[in-house]
Structure formats: C-alpha cells, structure tokens
Amino acid sequence: MDQRLEAACHSGDLAMLHNLLREDKLLLHRLSITTASIDSPLHIAASLDHTEFSEELITRKPDLALELNSRGLSALHLASAHGHLSIVKQLISKVGSHLCLLKDKDGRLPVHTAAMKGRISILEELINACPESARALTYRKESVLHLAVQFNSSETLEYLVEKLGVGVGGEINDIQLLNLKDDKGNTILHHAVARRQLKTVKLLLSKEGMEVNAMNLKGLTALDVLLESPSEHGDLMLGEVIRAANGKVTGEVLNHQPSIQTNTTPITPTDYESSTSHTRRWVPSLFRRRARPTSKKKVKVEDNYTPGQLMVVATLIATITFQSGLNPPGGLITQLEHGSGDNTSISDSTLPGAAILRSDLGGFLLLDMIGLFSSLSIILILICVVPRRKKKMMKILVVIMWVSVFSTALAFCNGIYKILPDHSNRKQLFFLVLGLLWIFRIFMLWVCFRFSVYLLRKVRLWPKKQGDEERNAVRRGGCLLCCKRIGAVMLILVLLLILGYFNFAAFVAWDLNWNEFKLIK
C-alpha cells in the first residue's frame, strides 16, 4: 500500500485521499492485488471510526468491504468489534446485508465478534439486517449465545435471549438454540456454570425447555462441572439454584432418569426462595467431591511413610552415629601417657587419638555401629533399588528404621552409663534403659503379631479383610492348603520361641544387673 494512502487512512484525511485519486485514478482498483492478506484502507478506516473517509472508500470501490485481512476479518468485523455503529450502518446500507455472513478464520460472523465484545447496539443492527446470522455457528459449533457467555457478557446474553425469543414461545428452533452443544458437547449452561455466572445461570434456568442435565462429551452435567472445578466463593448459592431446577449429577441421571431432564417448569425468584430451605438438606453433600476410582492398596500406600521421610530420618541418624563413633564417650587421648618408660614399649592403646575408656566402649560401639549401618542401608536401598512392590518394601524399611532408632537410643544410654561416676545416677539411667527395652519388646511383639495375622489370613485361618486377594491354593484347598497351614503355624511357633528366649535372656540380665546395683549400694 502507498505510504501516503496509509497515512491518510490513519488520520482520516479526506482531502489527501482526493489528491491521491486525482494523481492515480486506479489506485483503489490496484489494492485488491497489492494489499492481499493485509489491512486495506477500509479496514483501517473502519477500525478508527473515520466515517466520512469510509463512506468515500465504499462509494468509489464497494468491493473493499468484501476483502479479508490476514486474520480473515472484514471491515464489518472490525467495525462491529470496536462498536462503530455509523460505519456498520454504512456498510450494510451501501453494500448489502450479505456482509453479515462473511466468516473469519474461526468461522465467526460480525454478529459473533459483536457478542464477544458486548456491543448490544451493533447486535441489534446486525440482527435486524440479517436475522439468520444470529443462528449461525462457528467452526467449533459455537452459537452467538455461547460466545456471549464465554466472554462474560451477561447483559449481552440477556439481550440476545429477549431479541431472539429463546425459551419464550417454545418453538423448536428456539429450544435447539438454547440447548445447542459446541464441539466438546458443552451447552450454554455448562459454560455459565464453569465461569460461576450466577446471574446467567438463573436466566437460563428460567427459560422453558432448558436441558438442565444435558451431558457433554466427558459425560458431565452442569452440576458435575460445578463439583469438578476448584471451589470458589458463591459455589453454594450456584449449586442451590441448579438443584432447585432439578439439576443432577451424572450418576443420578443414569440411575434414576435415563432420558435427559428438561426444565419444563421454569423457576421464578419466588420459587427459588421457597426451595432454598428444601435444598439445605443436600447442601452438605453437594460439595463432597466424588471419590476417584482408586484401589484400596493405593490408598494404604499413600497413608504410610514416604521414601522422602525415611531418607531424611535415616540421614539424620547416620550423621549422629558417625559423629558419636569418632568422638566416643570419655574423649580421646591427646598426648602420651607418662610413666611408660621407653618409647618402644608404648602400646597402641596409649597413643594420642585412642579412646580413654578403651575396652569399656565395646557395648556402646556395637550399638552405635548397628544404628549407623542400618541407617546407611536404608539410604542405599532408597537410592539404588527400584521396588516392584512399593508397599512391601516400605514396610521392611520401616522395620529397619525402628532397629536404627532403638540402637541409637541404647548407644546413648550406654555411653551416658560409662561416663557417669555417681552410682545413684547410674541407677536412674539403668531404669531408663529398662523402660526403653520394654518399649522395644512391645514393638517386637506387635510386629510378630501382625506377621502372624498376615500368615493366618493367607491360609484362611483368620477372617480376611475386604479387598485382600485370595491365592489359588486357598480357593482350591487340598493338600497344598494343609501344607501351607502347617508351615504358617510352625513359623509362628518358631517366632514365639525366639521371643521367649530373648525375654528370658533379658530377665536374667536384669536380675544380674539388679544384684550388682544392690552390692554397689
């Protein structure tokens, strides 16, 4: 396009346009070739509301009104979107109402762009000039009502419903327009509910023939859309309005009403107020989210410890036990002990860096190393192993973590016991260690009980929980089932014997230590 002509279009300078046309009478006729896929002078003038300039262009070359720019928009599209009513009237009166049927790249007509921008005066002019354009659909099967709701223009929707007589006379075409679905199966009500447009929802539900429980391609009704989306302020009121119009979720529609529910009795403000108290009884369940189809095993795994939590605890215990092993109770020798005579006769235990308590640290170091290596094993397993059965592996790691925690606690008690010279303090510490051992004993009994119950359930000697899988051998019975039952009972007896042995050993150790304390006292 000529730069002088473009400048004249932007400024609306009609005198400059006349001068350019006197210089080149075919200037506008050559624009159809040179301005392909870009804005023509009429596009620019219509966008900037240069009425006289646009009228001169239309008079000299009416075909400019039929040209589309790179976005597929005509001059009528641009004038409608910007709300330039005078230019819209010029284009329709001087060129013809067929301009109202020009489509852009998305299949939108000028009436669609006016509805998107909320230009009610433009809508009235376009619908009066070409009524069939108001019922045309875009390439996404969106009506003018869809676009008005999507762009949050409730006033525009209210005007269109009144102008088109939708839901008033009950005509077939009007009902189809009201319940029309786009390419995703969403009606106007779906879009209004998704955008929390309470005023629009009330307007739609007050219209006769509105399908309250129409389902989209995902199988969701309007009430489902409300429940599926994140909660926002005003959801309770919106849910009450939908329920008052006999709105249902998909499950209720499929179970109790196979056909789509139609709102044959539109609600009025008085009807809504009277039904509010009735709907209060279902309000608590309205926003109770529908449960996802998750298996019972998955729920249990999510409730247990996570690998990240175990990694943090294991790293902390490994750090504590590592530092305790390098800095044992009582400290380290910092210089050579005196009275050793010849340097060649100095033993390794008297060299700097050796532990002062030496052989008395045997129990402490044993417990400390158990805590260190058990926590390190947890870290290595979580880093290197990709478990096929996460639930079972997490249970094993939790048991190892218990061993690590108890070993660290016992190592601490043992170290305190070695460095306290006062026998009364040692006696208090002894009872503390005894209490910790009882806790560990209870834990071991609980673990063995759970394992025994697990074995008995597998062989059906204990009532099974709902959802537990049943082995083929259990279903068939026979010799294999008997062998498994005998093996399970024998394994449980072995565990009981081991626990009894450790309890007896703990009792003997307690008796010996108690006698030692009495002698010390």
Residue 304 lies in a domain: yes
**Total domains present in the chain:** 2
pTM confidence score: 0.51
List pLDDT tens digits, range 86-101: 999 999 999 999 999 9
d(CA 46, CA 90): 10
Identify the helix (H) or strand (E) that includes residue 518.
helix 479-520
Do 403 and 467 sit in the same domain of this protein? no
Residue 339 lies in a domain: no
d(CA 191, CA 195): 6
- The last residue of one of the domains, among 419, 452, 476, is 419
DSSP letter at 478?
S
Do 456 and 384 sit in the same domain of this protein? no
Do 371 and 465 sit in the same domain of this protein? no
| pLDDT score for 299 | 40
Highest mean pLDDT among 83-87, 259-263, 456-460: 83-87
Nearest to 413 by CA among 368, 454, 380: 368
Residue 504 lies in a domain: yes
d(CA 266, CA 276): 15
| Residue count of the chain | 521
Do 380 and 459 sit in the same domain of this protein? no
Unique residue bearing structure tokens 């400390």: 368
Residue 449 lies in a domain: yes
Residues linked to residue 262 through DSSP beta bridges, in sequence order: 211
Residue 487 lies in a domain: yes
DSSP reduced 3-state for 67: coil
Do 303 and 400 sit in the same domain of this protein? yes
Average pLDDT over residues 400-420: 78
Do 453 and 379 sit in the same domain of this protein? no
Residue 322 lies in a domain: yes
| pLDDT score for 113 | 93
List pLDDT tens digits, range 144-193: 999 999 998 888 988 988 888 775 554 445 557 888 899 999 999 999 98
List pLDDT tens digits, range 288-340: 444 444 444 444 444 455 777 888 888 998 898 888 888 887 777 776 555 44
Higher-pLDDT residue of 364 and 259 is: 364
| pLDDT score for 513 | 55
**Does 47 have pLDDT greater than 50?**
yes
SS3 for 84-109, per residue?
A: CHHHHHHHHHHCCHHHHHCCCCCCCC
| pLDDT score for 516 | 53
Range from 136-140, 467-471, 497-501, 503-507 carrying the lowest mean pLDDT: 467-471
Query: Contact 238/199 with Cβ under 8 angstroms?
Result: no
Helical axes 41-48 vs 75-82, angle rounded to 10°: 10
161: Cβ contacts below 8 Å, ≥ 6 apart:
145, 167, 203, 207
The DSSP secondary structure of 324-374, one letter per residue, reads HHHS-TT-B--SPPTT--SGGG--GGGSTTSBSSGGGGHHHHHHHHHHHHH
**Does 279 have pLDDT greater than 50?**
no
Do 415 and 327 sit in the same domain of this protein? yes
Unique residue bearing structure tokens 């929802």: 201
Mean pLDDT of the chain: 76
Residue 156 lies in a domain: no
d(CA 343, CA 410): 39
**Does 394 have pLDDT greater than 90?**
no
156: Cβ contacts below 8 Å, ≥ 6 apart:
115, 118, 120, 123, 148
How many Cα atoms sit within 13 Å of 54 on the Cβ side?
Answer: 27
Q: Which domain holds residue 370?
A: 292-331+351-419
Higher-pLDDT residue of 259 and 126 is: 126
Question: How many CB atoms lie under 10 A from the CB of residue 477?
Answer: 10
504: Cβ contacts below 8 Å, ≥ 6 apart:
none
Do 305 and 405 sit in the same domain of this protein? yes
Do 357 and 473 sit in the same domain of this protein? no
Q: Which sign, positive or negative, has the C-alpha torsion 130, 135, 141, 143?
A: positive
Do 326 and 391 sit in the same domain of this protein? yes
Q: How confident is the model at residue 142 (pLDDT cuts 50, 70, 90)?
A: very high
| pLDDT score for 403 | 82
Do 415 and 453 sit in the same domain of this protein? no
CA distances from 307 to 159, 310, 382, 390 (A): 59, 5, 7, 10
Residue 316 lies in a domain: yes
Do 370 and 461 sit in the same domain of this protein? no
d(CA 477, CA 323): 56
